Chains A and B, each alone.
Chain A
């Protein structure tokens, strides 16, 4: 299994600013994933982060807006840059352990 923690758990930010979300896993993992979930909606995959290589972004997401770091096998960050109210959402990181996928508790971001 994998236990994932995220910081911050929530934040309220002003438009135009940036927020960095941290994700910590209690074991070394190869792949980490970042998702976004807007209220009442499904999860949308933002990017896949492998240690030692550039993150791979899904259609509609770009590195300039959502830069990702993956400095080691237990940690990753997602930055939401130049925020607008449309970025208000819950951001979740996840990873695979065996055949199961585990999610962090999420970061609830509100942009005003």
Chain B
């Protein structure tokens, strides 16, 4: 089946440090989405990337889509305790159905 791989599984950082999570697919993606899920909550949409090499920023968050549209990354600059949660990428191969990566659980120590 279609698979989207995501690393690392866990990341523990000190508040103020940077954080990056990576996703990759063996097959070219049509587009990729990123989500944040807090404990006990449901996934909340952050952003969608469609174009090869696309880079989007949301305040301290930077999202990239690889040139080959097979990988993507989410980078958080100067983490805060409010960034705690699990970050998921979700890739699509046909712009419709999305397959989620395994997620990266971020813990930020104050």
Contacts and interface: CB of A to CB of B under 8 A. Distances in A.
A103 B43 contact: yes
A43 B1 contact: no
Contacts of A59: 1
Interface stretch (B11-19, B64-72, B77-85, B93-101): B93-101
A60 B3 CA distance: 14
Nearest to B92: A101
A104 B42 contact: yes
A54 interface: no
A59 B42 CA distance: 23
Contacts of B90: 43, 101
Interface of B: 1, 33, 42-45, 48, 50, 88, 90, 96-103
Interface of A: 31, 33, 35, 41-45, 48, 58-60, 92, 96, 99-106
Contacts of A58: 1
Contacts of B96: 31, 48, 96
B100 A101 contact: no
Contacts of A106: 42
B103 A42 contact: yes
Contact of B42 (A44, A48, A103): A103
Given A43-B100, A45-B97, A103-B42, 6 more contacts: A33-B98, A41-B102, A48-B96, A58-B1, A102-B45, A105-B42
A35 B102 CA distance: 14
17 contacts: A33-B97, A41-B102, A42-B102, A42-B103, A45-B98, A48-B97, A60-B1, A92-B42, A92-B43, A96-B96, A100-B45, A100-B48, A101-B45, A101-B90, A101-B98, A103-B42, A105-B42
Contacts of A43: 43, 88, 90, 100
Nearest to A33: B97
